[in-house]
Amino acid sequence: MKSTFFLKFFLLSIALRSFTFGTSLPDMWAERVKSVVAIDYVTETEDERRMSTAYGVAIDTEGTIILPSAAVDVRIDPKRLRRFKAYIPGEAVGSDATYLGQDPYTGWHYIKVSKVMATQLLPISKWIAPKGTKELELSDFVWGLGLRNKEEDFIPYLMQSHIAIIESLPQHTAIAQQEVAGPGLPVFNKDGYFVGLATSSFAQTYLQFSKADRTGSPLMLVDVEESSAFLLSTEVIPSLSRRPENVNGRPLAWFGAYGLEALDREAASFLGLSNQSSVVVSEVLEDSPAEKAGMKAHDIIVALDSVMLPRFRPDHVAIDFVERKVLIHRPGDVINMTVLRGAKRIELSITLGDEPKLIREAERKYFERLGLTVREFVYADAVERRSSVKSHNGVIVSYIKSNSPVDGAGLSGEDWIKEIDGASVDSFADAVAKLSAAESDLHRKEFVLLVSRGTQTAVLRVKLH
Amino acid sequence: MSRGFNGLLNSVVRIDVRQVNYEGGSKRFDGSIGSGVILSEDGLILTNAHVVSPKAVEVTVTLSSLENVGAKLVGWDHWTDLALLKLDMDEVKRRQLTFTHASFGDSSKLFAGNVVFAVGTPFGLTRTVTRGIISNTSQYFDAERNEDGYETGLFNTWLQTDAAINPGNSGGPLVTEDGKVVGITTRGYTGANNLGFAIPSNTAKAVVKSLLEHGSIVRSTVGIVPGALQDLEDFYSLALNTGMLVNSVYPKSPAAISGIKAGDILLQIDHKAIDGRFPEQIPAILNSIAQQPVGTQLTLTIKRGVKLQDINVVTELLESSVGEERAFDTWGLSVRKISRIYAREHGRNDQNGVIVIGVQPGFPADVAGIQPGNIITAINRAVITSLDVVAHAHDAFTQKPEATLLEVEKDRHVSFVILKP
């Protein structure tokens, strides 16, 4: 008897160690807190340092963390993101972490924490439900983690709710009755299995009253600390093996249609496209895979690889759907698009390219005395200015220091510098050489810029001293 | 006051205008009040283009005798903000009405400090005389657009005066003590004290002549946006008072086609030296080009870097970027055609499409989410090459309302929307 008892006790303790599911909520909560971290980092620009905070989930035993896409502004050059630190919830002191880049398909940002911290973390895969477990349903109980702010050492806390709706947006997303986790943090079911990852919350409309306005004006508010929406684990788990290959998330599959707009329901029905979503191409970019495949502006994308676009609510989800279908590919892959052009359906076979250099990847240089930062002219600059993408001359002004010489001359941000001292600017390096000469020559009294702004140009005289 | 001045007072009129307004998404009429001055025995009246434009459907003139007479627009010129009207002389004769007419003085003889009087209808107060001096004989404004989007400025400088100028003074004369018209009061600064501006009479004389002869002003242009050279002479190794800076060249304009570039210095026009050192000097230079017949070949001597070169440029007709407007009442939609110049200024490849200038709340266009500023490029899949394409679809809709498909550009994003019955 005694030995049997011991044996039973032993088995139970093993079970507790590896499958702590279905135990008390506080116990499960205490364990699953080990799968999350808080991250903070600094965005450095010419004249300011901005601190941001985000929450992430450990995805392996090496200390790889994923943060939701909204955690980092994707327009910012990754080189300007500095001093990443990771914090174990509830601990005051963080340790250095490294930014690895963004995965273009999931939008997740990847962070590597220190080896020491990695040993303290449990990967989210620990909590994945075995195959055959019942899928999440309406009214199911779910719970998740929230983290307080840095002043409170990111203390973890518990949130609970029930499923109110499950929708394709286009990813399967559950919305709980109230906030259930911090954005980027995991959500679990009653047995402690991982059921999803909280996304950014949705805007809610409130009425704002004041003494002056007693009728109330509508105000949309988004809770940035807690969210009621989460991506279902079935969307998350298959992507956990993805890793950005580099800090810029390259390669980036690209087809080169500008301004995708979902077809509105009534227009769709007018065009006989009632049972599906479809997407209008506003412009086809010069020299892009779409252009080479024969896509035209105002084409309506109705099917991808011969599969009709599903019907989404709201309409604009269809844009995300098409973009994700492209981003899951690699440059060189072929994607077939069926477009409606006038009354005709046309099959286009598009060989995807690698997206041309993005503005965030453009080279930059700050000239403190002159008071400006210039950046390399990239493809998107040509698109924005309706200029040929082949004319890659000049540089773009990305920053103006107030009361500086260039500010006084009337130069503005986003001006396109085409000539410096009457000589054309052939490349970024050329601009840097010319501006460096002006910056370092303390006897120089002035220099002259020819800039383009809209469809006009202007000659600006920059007085030094 | 002088006899001339008293005569002048009897030539100043109040002008009440009823005009079409398309901006609310339908064709509406609104009224405004301005001033004018009778120029001749046969009832020609000079006023501002922003008082009477081709949108006017009814113009009523109140003579100094307080009698009302109808008038018609002879022609207008928004660039100088001048419009010429003609009294209904049959009515004048039938009713045996009398008036005197004013005559122009020489605005080039004015000097700062010169005493002048403004006569007009400020805030509807008929025949108000205010007194002041010339504050500046040639004030310069960068080219601007008036309330309706029409270009104004470029070809003249303004007389500045401290005589009180208020809304309603527009189109009235600025006169010297002898009653000679030296300017047409055009604008004041709202919120400022005693900063009024008038078109010099010497500019007005030329405009009146052309409007009488042709009903419009035909100007030549080469598509150069000028800049003053002030303080840039050293950089360009130029003697002072030599040449004018080419600040910008409109894409596809004659100057662009001939290879003139921004940053060039224009030294001579047809071998005649020009001086554009100061902004105040630029309108005269542009005017000298404008006065050439359309299609004239001009030899422009250009300095680019150290090189001088003669470039031949053939002038083209100066046009406004404001296209024709029309309202489509059943849809509650009013639009303006994309003009050649609008397309050029906005980097559009063609002139297809119309710009939405108004939608009427609750009407099909508004329900479809169309907003002012949107560009409609196609209707029932037909590209909008002219207003008639829209009118055709609108007529069909009015007769037999059926869902109509529009392709609408908002900030370069294209949506397909339905106008529903």
Q: Which of A124, A151, A138 is CA-nearest to residue A53?
A: A151
Q: Which residue in B236, B376, B415 has the most chain A C-beta atoms within 10 A of its own C-beta, making it the best mutation to test that interface? A: B415
State whether B59 and B73 are in the same domain: yes
pLDDT in the model for residue A383: 93
State whether B134 and B49 are in the same domain: yes
Q: What are chain A's domains? A: 32-124 (2.40.10.10), 130-239 (2.40.10.10), 253-354 (2.30.42.10), 359-463 (2.30.42.10)
State whether B253 and B183 are in the same domain: no
Q: How far apart are CA B52 and CA B34, in angstroms?
A: 8
The pLDDT of A442-451, averaged and rounded, is: 92
Measure Cα distances from B185 to B20, B114, B179, B190 in Å: 24, 16, 15, 14
Instruction: Extract the tokens encoding A206.
Output: 């409130």
Inter-chain CB proximity B412 and A264 less than 8 Å: no
* Backbone angles phi and psi of B106, in degrees to 5: -100, 105
State whether B162 and B110 are in the same domain: yes
Question: Quick one: closest CA in A to B245, which residue?
Answer: A459
Nearest-by-Cβ selection for B416 from A280, A297, A422? A280
Question: Quick one: closest CA in A to B236, which residue?
Answer: A422
Which of A299-303, A387-391, A399-403, B334-338 comes out lowest in average pLDDT?
A387-391
Q: Which of B81, B107, B138, B220 is catalytic?
A: B81
Cis peptide before A218 (omega within 30 of 0): no
State whether B104 and B247 are in the same domain: no
At B95 the three-state DSSP class reads coil
pTM over 0.95: no
Q: Does A164 score more than 70 pLDDT?
A: yes
User: At B12, which CATH number?
Assistant: 2.40.10.120
Instruction: Extract the tokens encoding B394.
Output: 């609108």
Active site residue B214: no
- The one-character DSSP state at B104 is B
- Residue B252 φ/ψ region, left for φ over 0, alpha for ψ in the -120 to 50 degree band, beta for the rest: left
- The one-character DSSP state at B26 is S
Q: Which residue in B235, B250, B340, B341 has the most chain A C-beta atoms within 10 A of its own C-beta, making it the best mutation to test that interface? A: B235
Q: Which of B116, B263, B290, B398 is CA-nearest to residue A460?
A: B263
State whether residue B247 sits within 8 Å of chain A by CB: yes
Nearest chain A CA: its distance from B410 CA (Å): 10
At B345 the three-state DSSP class reads helix
Instruction: Extract the tokens encoding B352.
Output: 């297809």
Q: Which of B170, B201, B210, B258 is catalytic?
A: B170
Inter-chain CB proximity B417 and A264 less than 8 Å: yes
- Is A326:A253 a contact under the CB 8 Å cutoff? yes
Handedness of CA B365, B370, B375, B380 (dihedral sign): negative
Q: Does A18 score more than 70 pLDDT?
A: no
> What ipTM does this complex have?
0.85
- Is A257:A300 a contact under the CB 8 Å cutoff? no
Bridging pattern class, strands A186-189 and A141-147: antiparallel
Active site residue B53: no
Measure Cα distances from A215 to A206, A219, B414 in Å: 13, 13, 36
User: At B241, which CATH number?
Assistant: 2.30.42.10
Nearest-by-Cβ selection for B305 from A298, A422, A458? A422
Inter-chain CB proximity A448 and B305 less than 8 Å: no
Q: Does A16 score more than 80 pLDDT?
A: no
Nearest-by-Cβ selection for A298 from B227, B305, B414? B414
Measure Cα distances from B33 to A100, B151, B185, B186 in Å: 68, 21, 14, 13
Nearest chain B CA: its distance from A91 CA (Å): 48
* Backbone angles phi and psi of A432, in degrees to 5: -65, -40
Q: Maximum Cα–Cα distance for chain B, whole Å? A: 71
State whether B68 and B161 are in the same domain: yes
Domain termination residue (choose one: B180, B214, B248): B214
State whether B299 and B376 are in the same domain: no
State whether B234 and B198 are in the same domain: no
Inter-chain CB proximity B247 and A271 less than 8 Å: no
Question: Quick one: closest CA in B to A260, which residue?
Answer: B413
Going residue by residue through chain B (421 aa), what tens digit of pLDDT does each one get?
788 888 899 999 999 999 998 888 888 899 999 999 999 999 999 999 999 999 999 999 999 999 999 999 999 999 999 999 999 999 999 999 999 999 999 999 999 999 999 999 998 888 899 999 999 999 988 777 887 889 988 899 999 999 999 988 999 999 999 999 999 999 888 778 889 999 999 999 999 999 999 888 999 999 999 988 888 888 888 888 889 999 999 989 999 999 999 999 999 999 999 999 999 999 999 999 999 999 999 999 999 988 999 999 999 999 999 999 999 999 999 999 999 999 988 889 899 999 999 999 999 999 999 999 999 999 999 999 999 999 999 999 999 999 999 999 999 999 999 999 8
Q: How far apart are CA B62 and CA B71, in angstroms?
A: 10
Q: How far apart are CA A353 and CA A332, in angstroms?
A: 6
Q: How far apart are CA A433 and CA A425, in angstroms?
A: 10
Q: Which of residues 215-234 of B touch A (CB under 8 A)?
A: 225, 227, 231-232
Question: Quick one: closest CA in B to A421, which residue?
Answer: B235
Percent of chain A at pLDDT > 70 equals: 96
Active site residue B170: yes
- Cα Rg of chain B, angstroms: 24
In chain A, what is the straight-line distance between the N-terminal and C-terminal CA atoms, in Å? 96
At B159 the three-state DSSP class reads strand
Q: Does A449 score more than 50 pLDDT?
A: yes
Size of interface A-B (CB pairs under 8 A): 86
Domain termination residue (choose one: B317, B343, B377): B317
Which of A21-30, A156-165, A226-235, B46-55 comes out lowest in average pLDDT?
A21-30
State whether B313 and B339 are in the same domain: no
Q: Which of A52, A153, A166 is CA-nearest to residue A109?
A: A52
State whether B240 and B300 are in the same domain: yes
Which class for A22: exposed (0-12), middle (13-18), buried (19 or more C-beta within 10 A)? Answer: exposed
| Residue B194 belongs to domain spanning | 1-214
Which residues lie across from B34 on neighbouring strands?
B15
Number of independent structural domains in chain B? 3
Contacts of A451 in chain B (CB under 8 A): none
Which of A83-92, A206-215, A408-417, B198-207 comes out lowest in average pLDDT?
A206-215
Q: In Å, how far from its chain's centre is CA B357? A: 19
Helix (H) or strand (E) holding B288: helix B282-290
Q: Does A8 score more than 70 pLDDT?
A: no
Instruction: Quick: pLDDT tens for A429-446.
Output: 999 999 999 999 999 999
State whether B111 and B202 are in the same domain: yes
Query: Whole-number mean pLDDT of chain A?
Result: 92
A393 pLDDT tier (thresholds 50, 70, 90):
confident
Q: Does A47 score more than 70 pLDDT?
A: yes
State whether B52 and B179 are in the same domain: yes
Q: How far apart are CA A252 and CA A105, in angstroms?
A: 9
- The one-character DSSP state at B108 is G
- Cα Rg of chain A, angstroms: 27
Q: Does A220 score more than 90 pLDDT?
A: yes
Encoded amino acid at A22, one letter: G
Q: How far apart are CA A377 and CA B317, in angstroms?
A: 36
Q: Which of B26, B50, B220, B334 is catalytic?
A: B50
Domain termination residue (choose one: B288, B317, B346): B317
